[in-house]
Structure 1
Amino acid sequence: MSLLPSLFANRQFQIIVIVQMLMVFSNNLLNPVLPVHFQSIGLNESQIGFAMGIVSLGALLLRPWSGMSADVRGSRFTLLVGQFLMWTGFAAYLWVTGFWPLLFVRFYQGVAMSFYGTGAVTFASTVGTRETATAAIAYFSLFTMIGLGAGTSAGPFLYQAVGFTPLIAVSLTAAACAAAVTWFGTKPAPARAGEGRAPFRAVLAAKIVLAPSVCLFASNFTLGTMFTFVPLLALARGIGGYSVFFVSFSLAVVLARLGVRAVNDWFGPVKTSVGASILNAASALLLAAAPSPAVFAVAGVLVGFGFGTIYPTLAGYLVQNVREANKGSALSILSGAGDIGNALGASVLGVVAHAFGFTAVFSAAAAVILVCAFYFHTALVGPARTPTPSA
């Protein structure tokens, strides 16, 4: 914890964590209620799954460009572009209602998230020294989870209390405040293009980047499934109070981010990531077996600790093991793998939900995460833990 005072004494770190908290809050006010809102305007389960998942496809396709933008033009430029695109995407929900227009807006939102997310995490990793980068990402991601927790907890309540349009207005206000803080408060972080920068494909092919990316894919596959289908499962089974899942998730994920550095010190990043994956799988299996308000609460705690641990662990592992000039590209690949997980968890399992029901959905999510965790562990033990020259 000795790094905490020095990090928060840095004004640029203060600014980026405030910006991240506001942007994540604005986005996650909407995420828990969008499936219910889409259902209310006539979309079926399969259409809802595609609409929720395609945002990750948009993010994925732009990850190479957002990563190179952070490496070549700097992370501040990249996150400002992302903020503008995200704000306009939120505003579009006020007018767009049909299935195909909603798919376009969700895809556009993914493009925005690609630029914003890559720019923000790369900016945070440049604060301090290379040795403190892991701690910077961990505490940065803690504020991510505070924003996520506040947004996912408040979103369903506000939606029920005031409706969809006022909820959009709150989201737009938070995003506009974040953009103003970024514009007036941040200084350009140094770009890292130059000698030693490997091509994007070479960074992608390096096992030191690929294996953590597969692990994060599985984590986001499970989380995307839960965020999309827990509300629909509750409605289908007549279970009230599904928001307890999001509240317990939010509390657990914040606690996990507070302790993630200590857990990594004790067990190392590989064992920590495998353990977090097991927690995520256990949460999905509980939802498959016996959904109820109590199970929603326990499942939220398990996936909160799992998800709260896994991203900063994997991102810190990359920052410590890839070349400085490739940091933006490596982090964009890691985030892109998470985008794939979100997309497949919502869209592919939306078809499964429509055909086979929710028990099959959550069982499949657990199976995917266990297979990917096994690959991650076998890929990074022994000699494979040494960074390859291309990374």
Structure 2
Amino acid sequence: MKISPLSFSMLQNYGLAIFYFTANSVLTVIFPLQAADHGMEEAEIGLMMGIYMFVCMVLRPWAGQMVSKYSVHTVMKYLLLGHVAALLFYVWLGVESLYVVRILQGIVTAFFSMAMQMGITETLRDEDRGQGMAMYSLSSVMPGLYGPALAMLLWVQRDISWLLIFITFLAFAPLLFFMKSPLPKIKKENASFTLKDMIEGMKLARANKGLVVSSGVMLIGASIFGAISTFLPLYLLTTDTGNVGLYLFLQALVVVGSRFIFRKYIPSDGKWHPGFITLVLGSSIIGTTLLAVLPLIGSFIYISALFNGIATAMLYPTLTTYISFAIPESHKHVLLGIFLASYDLGFSLGGMLMGIVIQFGSYPIMFAACSIMGVVAIIYNFIASSPKERIIIE
């Protein structure tokens, strides 16, 4: 039976997502600071942070088939135990475990986000998917309102004990929301995860224009988001031109507000909307350009949080909603995994490659490169979806 995106059952799912991503929000700030404090350079920090999403990318398509075969509920149960193991490993070994923990987080997140989004797709009516995806995305970014501030508060105290206690709590908290979970327990008949099926899915991906175009835009957009997420705290701290906690709070506030206020405006008709995508990418360009000229604008840097927040809020749910219509039902789970892998790859490359740019160039050059990437995404968006070949459901 289909339910409302704001029903109690769905709110329980959103709560599960909030507690899961709170750990990511805190550690995404702590890990680069802790790594730099132990002598890592920007390129190595980018690699360490980027490997998280790279692992997600590799596992996404397989995760989709596993969820389909064993049900959303069953997979969620085991991946939450994996979440506990990853965080407790960090609590045990500290900074020496950063690479291993990032890999474990990548494995768990690949299955978590896939299970949640497939659960939303199977639970909600077609016309409510846009709202459901937006609310899930909202839940995943709400920790950004308080996570960075908590991270900085724990960091400046230089007392690792409180941080480890908090991380231990976050390891077990999602399990409380999973109890009596409304996530679907239905298994898909004849669902498989063979190499042959994966190859067939890849062939379909190349032939599906909607998937190719949306994945391309997602790849570029995620690269920008990955660079900002990885290096913004270090940028503000090294230049001493802004408060990291305040900036990230303002950006997260905009993300949360935008995803809730504009959730009904996210296209949910299965058609490609290049004008809407351009507005989102344009916001990103303004935000990264302001970061690139930070030495000139000083305190006005906080304005960039507004534009970066809007771009972060709207791009992912818009493209995810579109792709839920644009891929054939027969290979839906594999193709959805391939699409989501484009976000993971982009986010990973944003940290890995831009770390090299910073190490051999500078932070302003890196953010200027992000602005150029945004322009490229807009051009690709219009060229690939020209009026003669307007993308609809393939």
For residue 122 of structure 1, give the secondary structure of its aligned residue in structure 2.
Answer: helix
- Which one of 110, 129, 135 corresponds to residue 131 of structure 2? 135
Q: Is 1:48 aligned with 2:45?
A: yes
- Contact 1:207 1:384 (8 Å CA) reproduced: no
Deviation per residue, 1:292-351 (Å, 9 max, x gap): 663431111111011101111111111122234544333322321111111111111111
User: What is the aligned counterpart of 2:149 among 142, 146, 153?
Assistant: 153
Matched, 1:126 2:122: yes
1:380 partner amino acid: S
Does residue 1:372 correspond to 2:369, yes or no? Answer: no
1:386 paired to 2:386: no
Is 1:108 paired with 2:104?
Answer: yes
Per the TM alignment, residue 162 of structure 1 is displaced from its structure 2 partner at its CA by 6.3
CA contact (8 A) 1:242 1:293 kept: no
Q: Is the 8 A contact 2:51 2:348 kept in 1?
A: yes
Q: Is the 8 A contact 1:286 1:299 kept in 2?
A: yes
**Cα root mean square deviation, aligned:** 2.6
Which residue, out of 226, 236, 240, partners 1:238?
240
Is the Cα–Cα contact under 8 Å of residues 22 and 174 in structure 1 kept in the other structure? yes
* AA partner of residue 132 (structure 1): D
Which residue of the partner structure matches residue 253 of structure 2?
Answer: 251
SS of the residue corresponding to residue 8 of structure 1 reads coil
Aligned letter for 2:225? L
Matching of residue 88 in structure 1 with residue 85 in structure 2: yes
Please give the alpha-carbon distance, in whole angstroms, between the structure 1 residues aligned to 2:263 and 2:140: 16
The partner residue of 1:8 within 2, 6, 9 is 6
Q: 2:88–2:171: 8 Å Cα contact kept in structure 1?
A: no
**Matching of residue 297 in structure 1 with residue 298 in structure 2:** no
The 1:299/1:187 distance shift into structure 2, 3 A limit, reads closer
Counterpart in 2 of 1:65? 62
Question: Is the contact between residue 209 and residue 318 of structure 1 (CA under 8 Å) also seen in structure 2?
Answer: yes
1:72-83 equivalent positions in 2, closer than 5 A:
72-83=69-80
| Aligned residue identity for 2:47 | F
What amino acid maps onto 2:391 in structure 1?
R
State the distance in 2 between where 1:377 and 1:72 align.
38
**How far did 1:10 drift?**
5.1
Q: Distance in 2 between matches of 1:153 and 1:58?
A: 27
**Residue 54 and residue 165 in structure 1: after superposition, are their counterparts in 2 closer, same or farther (change >3 A)?**
farther
Q: Which amino acid aligns with 1:321?
A: A
Q: CA separation of 1:263/1:174 partners in 2, compared to 1, >3 Å: closer, same or farther?
A: same
Q: In the alignment, which of 18, 22, 29 is matched to residue 21 of structure 1?
A: 18
Establish whether residue 33 from structure 1 lines up as the match of residue 34 from structure 2. no
Q: CA deviation at 1:187?
A: 4.3
Secondary structure in 2 aligned to 1:93?
A: helix
The answer to whether structure 1 residue 338 and structure 2 residue 343 are counterparts is: yes
Shift of 1:122: 1.4
Cα deviation code 1:60-81 (max 9, x no counterpart): 1111211111222222233333
Bigger mean CA deviation after superposition, 30-39 or 366-375: 366-375
In structure 2, distance between residues paired with 1:173 and 1:18? 15
Provide the rounded CA distance (Å) in 2 between the counterparts of 1:274 and 1:221: 17
Q: Per-residue deviation at 1:193?
A: 5.1
1:278 is matched with which residue?
282
Q: In the alignment, which residue of structure 1 is the partner of 2:361? A: 356
| Distance in structure 2 (CA, Å) of the matches to 1:222 and 1:83 | 29
Secondary structure, aligned partner of 1:372: helix
- What SS is found at the alignment partner of 1:354? helix
Shift of 1:247: 0.9
- Residue identity in the other structure for 2:215: S
CA 42–187 in structure 1, closer or farther in 2 if over 3 Å, else same: same
State the TM-score, normalizing by the size of structure 1: 0.89
- Gaps spanning 5+ residues in structure 1: where? none
- Compared with structure 1, are the counterparts of its residues 313 and 192 closer, same or farther at alpha carbon in structure 2 (3 Å cutoff)? farther
SS at match of 1:33: helix
Q: What CA distance in whole angstroms lies between the structure 1 residues aligned with 2:344 and 2:267?
A: 28
* Aligned match of 2:140: 144
Report the alpha carbon displacement of residue 231 of structure 1 after superposing the two structures with TM. 1.6
When the two structures are superposed, what TM-score results if normalisation uses the length of structure 2?
A: 0.88
Distance (whole Å) between structure 1 residues aligned to residue 119 and residue 34 of structure 2: 34
**For the structure 1 residues 357 and 255, does the alpha-carbon distance in structure 2 shift closer, same or farther, using more than 3 Å as the test?**
same
2:255 is matched by which residue type in structure 1?
Answer: V
Q: Aligned partners of 2:73 and 2:134: how far apart in 1?
A: 20
Q: Specify the code of the residue in structure 2 equivalent to 1:171.
A: I
Query: Residue 228 of structure 1 corresponds to which residue in structure 2?
Result: 230
Q: Which residue identity does 1:169 align to in structure 2?
A: I
